[in-house]
Amino acid sequence: MKFVTANGATIPALGFGTFRMPGTEVLKVVPEAIKQGFRHIDTAQIYGNEAEVGEAIAGSGVARSDIFLTTKVWVDKYPHEAFARSVDESLKKLRTDHVDLLLLHWPNDQVPLAEQIGTLNEVHKAGKVRHIGVSNFNTTLMAEAAKLSRAPLVTNQVEYHPYLDQTAVLEAARKAGMSVTAYYAMADGKVISDPVLKQIGASHGKTAAQVVLRWLVQQDGVVSLTKTATLSRLPENFDIFDFELSADEMASVHALAMPGGRIVSPGGLAPAWDKAA
C-alpha cells in the first residue's frame, strides 16, 4: 500500500468507499475488502450504513488502530448543536471513540462557514476525530475553510476521473498542504470500455479500471476511493501497486478530460465549480 501524507495525516492512498451500499451489502463486502488488504474505509452519515461499517470493522479481526476510517457530516447537521450531536451518534454507530477523518460533506451557505469549521475544530480538539477536511468544495471555499480552521485541513474529497479536469483543485490543495480524495473514479462505469484505457491496460496486463486507479494514486497527493459490490472484483481493485504508468501514459489519461465531464452536481448542494484549466 502507498500512503499520502497531508498536513500531518498519513492516509492509505487506496480506500474502499461505501456510497450507495446498503447495510446488508456492507456486511458482506467490507469484511472481504479488509481481508483483501484495504485499510482505508469511507462512509458518511447520509449513506445510512455507518452502523454496518462499524460492525464490519469490529468483526474483521483487524485492529481498529490499523484502519483509517472516514465519515462525513451531512449538511442539515451543520448548526453547532446538531453537528456535535451527530458526531457522537456517528461514533456510536461506528463502534469507535474516534474517526480518523471527518469531512463536511457538501457546502451549505445556510450555516456560516465559520460555524461549520468552528464545530469541526471542537470535535477535533475533543479527540473525537484525528483529522478534519472538506468534500465537494471549490477552491474559493477551500481557501476560506483553511483560513478559518485552527487545525489543518487534510483533504478535499471531490469527483475525479479521467473525463474531469481537476487541475485547479489539485494545485490549490497542494499549495495548502492538503490531499485530494477522488470519488467516482470509474465515471459511473464509463472507463471500463474506454479504448485508450484498455490499450494502456493491455500493455501492463491490467484492466482499464486498474489503469484509472493507478493513474489517480500515481499523482502527487491524490487518494482514490474504489467500490464494488462484487466480491470477485475486490482483488482487481486492490492490485494496482505492482506496475507504474509512464509519463506518456499518464498524459494520455489526462488528455481524456472533456468539457461537461462532471457527473455529480446536485442542485441545492453543488457550489460554483472551478473552471477547467
pLDDT range class, residue 277, cuts 50, 70, 90: low
Q: What is the pLDDT of residue 258?
A: 96
Rounded Cα distance between 213 and 172, Å, is: 22
Q: Which CATH architecture has domain 3-188+217-229?
A: Alpha-Beta Barrel (3.20)
| 22 touches 166 (CB < 8 A) | no
Domain ranges of the chain: 3-188+217-229
Q: What is the pLDDT of residue 276?
A: 76
State the binding site for substrate.
105
Q: Which positions are annotated as active-site residues?
A: 47
Span 103-153, pLDDT tens digits: 999 999 999 999 999 999 999 999 999 999 999 999 999 999 999 999 999
Taking residues 208-237, what's their average pLDDT?
97
Span 43-99, pLDDT tens digits: 999 999 999 999 999 999 999 999 999 999 999 999 999 999 999 999 999 999 999
The answer for residues whose C-beta is within 8 angstroms of residue 200's C-beta and 6 or more apart is 208, 211, 245, 249, 252, 253
pLDDT range class, residue 250, cuts 50, 70, 90: very high
Q: What is the pLDDT of residue 99?
A: 98
Rounded Cα distance between 59 and 43, Å, is: 17
* In the block, residue with C-alpha cell 447537521: 77
| 86 touches 45 (CB < 8 A) | yes
Rounded Cα distance between 208 and 201, Å, is: 5
Q: What is the mean pLDDT of the chain?
A: 97
| 68 touches 41 (CB < 8 A) | yes
Rounded Cα distance between 156 and 108, Å, is: 15
Taking residues 262-275, what's their average pLDDT?
96
